[in-house]
Amino acid sequence: MYRAPVDEIAFTLKHVCGLDDLQKSASHQDLADDLVDAILSEAGRFAAEEIAPLNAVADQHGTPLADGKVTTPPGWRELYRAWIEGGWNGLTASPEAGGQGLPMMLSAAALEMWNSGSMAFAIGPTLTMGAVDALEKHASPDIKAKYLEKLVSGEWMGTMNLTEPQAGSDLNALKARAERNEDGTYRIFGQKIFITYGEHDLTDNIIHMVLARLPDAPAGTKGISLFLVPKFLVNDNGSLGKRNDVRAAGVEHKMGIHGSPTCTMVYGDEGGATGWLIGEENRGLACMFTMMNNARLAVGIQGLGVAERAYQHALNYAVERRQGKAPGDKGEGMSPIARHPDIKRMLLAMKARTQVARAICYACAHAIDMANVAEDDTARRFWSERASLLTPIAKAIPTDFGVEVASLGIQIHGGMGFIEETGAAQFLRDARIAPIYEGTNGIQSIDLVMRKLPMSDGAHVKGFIAELRAIADEVKASNRPEFGATAERLAASLRDLEEATDYMLTAQAEGRIADALSGATPYLRVAGLALGGALLAKGALRSAGEPAARLADRTLLARNFCETTLGETAGLKSDILLSAQSIQAFDAEAQAS
Amino acid sequence: MYRAPVDEIAFTLKHVCGLDDLQKSASHQDLADDLVDAILSEAGRFAAEEIAPLNAVADQHGTPLADGKVTTPPGWRELYRAWIEGGWNGLTASPEAGGQGLPMMLSAAALEMWNSGSMAFAIGPTLTMGAVDALEKHASPDIKAKYLEKLVSGEWMGTMNLTEPQAGSDLNALKARAERNEDGTYRIFGQKIFITYGEHDLTDNIIHMVLARLPDAPAGTKGISLFLVPKFLVNDNGSLGKRNDVRAAGVEHKMGIHGSPTCTMVYGDEGGATGWLIGEENRGLACMFTMMNNARLAVGIQGLGVAERAYQHALNYAVERRQGKAPGDKGEGMSPIARHPDIKRMLLAMKARTQVARAICYACAHAIDMANVAEDDTARRFWSERASLLTPIAKAIPTDFGVEVASLGIQIHGGMGFIEETGAAQFLRDARIAPIYEGTNGIQSIDLVMRKLPMSDGAHVKGFIAELRAIADEVKASNRPEFGATAERLAASLRDLEEATDYMLTAQAEGRIADALSGATPYLRVAGLALGGALLAKGALRSAGEPAARLADRTLLARNFCETTLGETAGLKSDILLSAQSIQAFDAEAQAS
């Protein structure tokens, strides 16, 4: 069972993450509050009633491959049809292509709920949206005319083909090749692995976005081009033509998201798959990054979605299950375990992490939207930098939290949590991929430290920290005893973040790259925790007009997170400052030999 | 592939955890160093060559139940036979019963390696050893004569039957019942769940140890008796008689340890299973605790065993897999990922946690052994208290670390980590049960805070902290720059532990039970981390006579752990002191409604 937390989502969008900034913009002035509420409530209904009941079925069934065909789990074809008929696939695509032109913030909110329903289902359309994004920004008018509308409607789905066995995090090593045909098309050859929804039975055609090298391309990532390779060639009248030379050679047996077919794709076994260039030759990586940045946020939202579902699942169990007697419980018989302090500790940790993940994801979506609607260069630059700063945090923190929350959920279930039928284990098995794909969280940390902190000579990150400090000051000034030590703990974590930031900027300025890389992972966590604490506190501060119970809930949550989890930052800061030496002195290869 | 770390295990036993104390005792004076080395090396060989290759097979095959019979994975019957023929089953049992009478320290070391080989395999014999322990201490001479030798040799296996659907952590709710027969035997009725190796094909007979209530028993845990219920009745000449009225009604579909059959056992469907009382009527829980305390350490060792295996697996991958270019790497082409600082950070975290888990488990085994060999009341009391103090820590920290290490191992493998064939995912799926069973880690924390800290009016835990402080002082006095900030960080964590201990003792003295319970989990972690840091440092200090590379390795590991992970304790201490208020104010039931 899943209940879409529509009210909390709406509050977070409106009062924590600045949806009103967008509503004031020329691009989204029609986005009235009641339209927002209607979209959220309908997306939530679809997630809870249509998607969520099929999540466990898909886990058990998987996506078997036979004779080159992948069968999706029972009920998924009907689910997908209902999904596209609801118009959900084109939320953010431009109205010209048949989309609804809604901001990323709303799409992020809807995506959260769909991922709570089923991460394995929601990931498919996410990739199609990435393909739409790349085509809208980089494809020729002919290509757009042929593919865009059907991808936006969801009649066809899209994929991203980057990874090869030897080229995972490092795309320099990419080997798939493309040869020019006389007619301007290309012949594509090579093997791609880990291709999500590379083959399936949900749509009649599948549009693969494939990275490959031309024969005369420069080495490394500057010699990579992006091609569109449809499963079935498309005639000029839009009907399907002959089968292209691409096939699924295998489906992976994974720890989780069993409903999502992860395929090995083979291109060009029979003379070459026909492909069309997207953007310019050798500039494919730039096109791919368009898709990847939004995909990083989308993966963060997977962590968030699974966390919310796992929290609800554990909460329901804790209220029903009775064992022992909680201190002070005067009721009959055994207490619901939800009354035991140690269980409450875990539930609070789950709830706070989920809400932090939500606020960080929506804040990142807000920055992306603001960059898109900006009307002058200063604003565009500011919000682009903010989106760049937040993207690695919004990918890594919610996905780490997804794993932590799902694992706590298992713990609350006790022995039942280890039994698959209970459902709690699936959340951990599903969530565990999110810190890995779309750039591992280690790579996100490196991106944050090496590429994002130095933006505007460090001025952007410092301004960001100052904004967070203003929230801590506001908590302090509010003088509400219910906040406990929130203001002090938040201020302390922000000092840790500031100190760690200075260390990172100095290390890079002095060319101590290995020092910066050694501390990147704890640095990202400090930044994410401090940001999370500030956003929870902001939620409590902005709840003044809300019902008293909501205000009390949000204050309690901010307080608990700041008094418990934020305590990590002091240790992490020391870690960043101290551990580079031992890490660099560690000769892992000598250990193995 | 698994290589038994026999040298590190031997060093930890001898130079960190005090095996020499035992060798000086009257009970174990024959335990020469070369005998220790021979046992370790042969146990390691068996684990690496015989057990480890069957771990993945068992994961895939599981233990299907059909017509009341459970089939163990291919190769397991032969493996079990080789195991008992090697005499491994009776390591710690008394020589009178055919055992080898070895101390728990050696058994712990061997058990570590068997769990590295396969946790699902090693858990079976662990339960038999628990049954042996209970029978040796509490059974009548007749029962001993009939069952002990065959359980010690491993010809038969044993089980523990505690849990029922409504009685998990809280055994007060236990309902299984026993009725007296005229002949002094009992008829047992009821259903037990989560019974490890409750049914299988490894041995001809299975000896169930079952908790049940007599008709006139007092309510609660003071009315529980322990019964021996064999699968097949045993004739006076030792041959098997008729089938007893007990059967496996189901095998659970679990997240991990698929090779270990987890059964629902039904007693008395056809008139009552014949059982024999062990110990006195209504005193069953005391007998069961004999088994459970050692079982808690054994579960800690599962976490350790899986951690070591996951570390080796990730290390081997990191050395082979090449991606990108590590800073300062002057080699050709891509670097082994083992050279990237972020990967080295993770490998160090895995290695340090594994070694901490090892040292804590062996220290706990040492305390149990010392209590057993003590020749006067003072020593016996001291070491009993030490074993009591360390048992919850030795259960919880290594099992939490097992999960953390296995999860880091997946992360190091990147996308491959999520693919089941890689093997990394199995370690996390297997390890995830260990923080739950034999008393959840939350219950271990409550046991530590509520029952163990108050021992000798708090004097025991304070003496324990003083011992750890002496290690920090010794690090400082050593003046070795290679230790970095080890001494300072360790001293700081010990101050955190001291302050948190005072808080807990005061809270209990003032009757603020809910406050103590609210902070129990972070308290156990502070204690475990501080102990772990001290034991790593001790290892480095005692390596002075070892090869230079070993000294350098151990110093680096202690330093890295103290400079990174020990940083957690400051935040955890604040958590303990601050969070009780928000936890108690949290009304989880209101959240669910």
SS (H, E, C) A74-94: CCHHHHHHHHHHCCHHHCCCC
The arithmetic mean of pLDDT across residues A574-592, rounded, is 96
Residue of A nearest to B578 (CA): A563
User: Which tokens in the block code for residue B242?
Assistant: 């008729």
| Other CB atoms within 10 A of residue A550 CB | 16
Distance CA A342, CA B583 (A): 9
Q: Do A334 and B170 touch (CB under 8 A)?
A: yes
* pLDDT of B494: 98
Residues in chain A within 8 Å Cβ distance of B328: 514
A437 at the B interface (CB within 8 A)? yes
Q: Is the pLDDT of residue A374 over 80?
A: yes
| Packing angle, helices B341-373 and B104-117, rounded to 10 | 140
Residues in chain B within 8 Å Cβ distance of A345: 518, 521, 579, 583
Contact (CB, 8 A) for A370 and A23: no
B433 at the A interface (CB within 8 A)? yes
Contact (CB, 8 A) for B485 and A299: no
B254 at the A interface (CB within 8 A)? yes
Could you confirm whether A8 is annotated as catalytic? Answer: no
B403 at the A interface (CB within 8 A)? yes
Residue with tokens 């949206």: A129
A318 at the B interface (CB within 8 A)? yes
* pLDDT of B92: 87
The arithmetic mean of pLDDT across residues A586-593, rounded, is 93
User: Which tokens in the block code for residue A8?
Assistant: 């909390």
| Packing angle, helices B119-138 and B284-320, rounded to 10 | 160
Distance CA B165, CA B559 (A): 46
Distance CA B179, CA A107 (A): 64
Residues in chain A within 8 Å Cβ distance of B560: 579, 582-583, 586
Residue A353's closest CA among A319, A422, A297, A401? A401
Interface list for A 75-134 with B (CB within 8 A): none
State the complex-level ipTM. 0.98
Residue of A nearest to B329 (CA): A514
Residue of B nearest to A424 (CA): B255
Å between B414 CA and nearest CA of chain A: 6
Residues in chain A within 8 Å Cβ distance of B568: 568, 571
Burial class (CB in 10 A: 0-12, 13-18, 19+), B574: buried
Å between B404 CA and nearest CA of chain A: 10
The number of C-beta contacts closer than 8 angstroms across A and B is 285
Contact (CB, 8 A) for A346 and A456: no
* pTM, 2 dp: 0.98
Contact (CB, 8 A) for A464 and A387: no
Assign A291 a pLDDT band (cuts: 50, 70, 90): confident
Q: Do B341 and A410 touch (CB under 8 A)?
A: no
Q: Give the residue ranges of chain B where pLDDT is below 70.
A: none
The arithmetic mean of pLDDT across residues A522-551, rounded, is 96
Which is catalytic among the residues A438, A467, A482, A510?
Answer: A438
Rounded to 5 degrees, φ, ψ at B103 are: -70, 160
Å between A275 CA and nearest CA of chain B: 27
Nearest CB among A323, A514, A591 relative to B315 is that of A591
| Other CB atoms within 10 A of residue B165 CB | 13
| 3-class DSSP state of A443 | helix
Nearest CB among B348, B563, B582 relative to A563 is that of B582
User: Which tokens in the block code for residue A585?
Assistant: 């002195």
| Other CB atoms within 10 A of residue A216 CB | 9
Q: Is the pLDDT of residue A288 over 90?
A: no
Q: Do A582 and B415 touch (CB under 8 A)?
A: no
Assign A290 a pLDDT band (cuts: 50, 70, 90): confident
**Residues of B with catalytic annotation?**
438
Residues in chain A within 8 Å Cβ distance of B339: 588-589
* pLDDT of A555: 98
| Interface test with chain A among B251, B345, B575, by most A beta carbons within 10 Å | B345
Assign A348 a pLDDT band (cuts: 50, 70, 90): very high
Q: Enumerate residues 6+ apart whose C-beta is below 8 A from B399.
A: B299, B300, B302, B303, B431, B434, B435, B441
A219 at the B interface (CB within 8 A)? no
Interface list for A 523-582 with B (CB within 8 A): 549, 553, 556, 559-560, 563-564, 566-575, 578-582
| Interface test with chain A among B175, B445, B582, by most A beta carbons within 10 Å | B582
| Interface test with chain A among B586, B587, B589, B593, by most A beta carbons within 10 Å | B586
Q: Enumerate residues 6+ apart whose C-beta is below 8 A from B258.
A: B58, B59, B60, B61, B62, B63, B120
* pLDDT of A289: 82
Residue A359's closest CA among A538, A123, A223, A495? A538
Q: Do B582 and A425 touch (CB under 8 A)?
A: no
A165 at the B interface (CB within 8 A)? no
Nearest CB among A334, A428, A569 relative to B173 is that of A334
Q: Do A347 and B517 touch (CB under 8 A)?
A: no
Distance CA A523, CA A540 (A): 26
B135 secondary structure, DSSP code: H
Assign A544 a pLDDT band (cuts: 50, 70, 90): confident
Q: How far is CA A128 from CA A43, A168, A297, in A?
A: 18, 21, 15
Distance CA B351, CA A368 (A): 40
Q: Do B419 and A254 touch (CB under 8 A)?
A: yes
pLDDT tens digits, residue range A398-443? Answer: 999 999 999 999 999 999 999 999 999 999 999 999 999 999 999 9
The arithmetic mean of pLDDT across residues A488-513, rounded, is 98
Q: Is the pLDDT of residue A292 over 80?
A: no
| Interface test with chain A among B162, B252, B418, by most A beta carbons within 10 Å | B418
| Other CB atoms within 10 A of residue A479 CB | 8
Distance CA B338, CA B342 (A): 9
A162 at the B interface (CB within 8 A)? no
What is the residue-wise DSSP string for B518-541? Answer: HTHHHHHHHHHHHHHHHHHHHHHH
| Interface test with chain B among A299, A345, A403, A584, by most B beta carbons within 10 Å | A345
Residue A540's closest CA among A482, A477, A500? A482
A520 at the B interface (CB within 8 A)? yes
Nearest CB among B316, B513, B592 relative to A327 is that of B513
Å between B592 CA and nearest CA of chain A: 6
Q: Do A578 and B163 touch (CB under 8 A)?
A: no
A510 at the B interface (CB within 8 A)? no
Q: Do A315 and B407 touch (CB under 8 A)?
A: no
Q: Do B327 and A256 touch (CB under 8 A)?
A: no
Q: Do A414 and B421 touch (CB under 8 A)?
A: no
**B190 - beta bridge partners?**
B267
B521 at the A interface (CB within 8 A)? yes
Rg (C-alpha) for chain A, rounded Å, is 24
Q: Do B316 and A592 touch (CB under 8 A)?
A: yes
Alpha-carbon B429 to chain mean position: 16
Residues in chain B within 8 Å Cβ distance of A436: 410-411, 414-415, 417-418
Indicate the pairing of strand B262-267 with strand B186-196. Answer: antiparallel
Å between B30 CA and nearest CA of chain A: 34
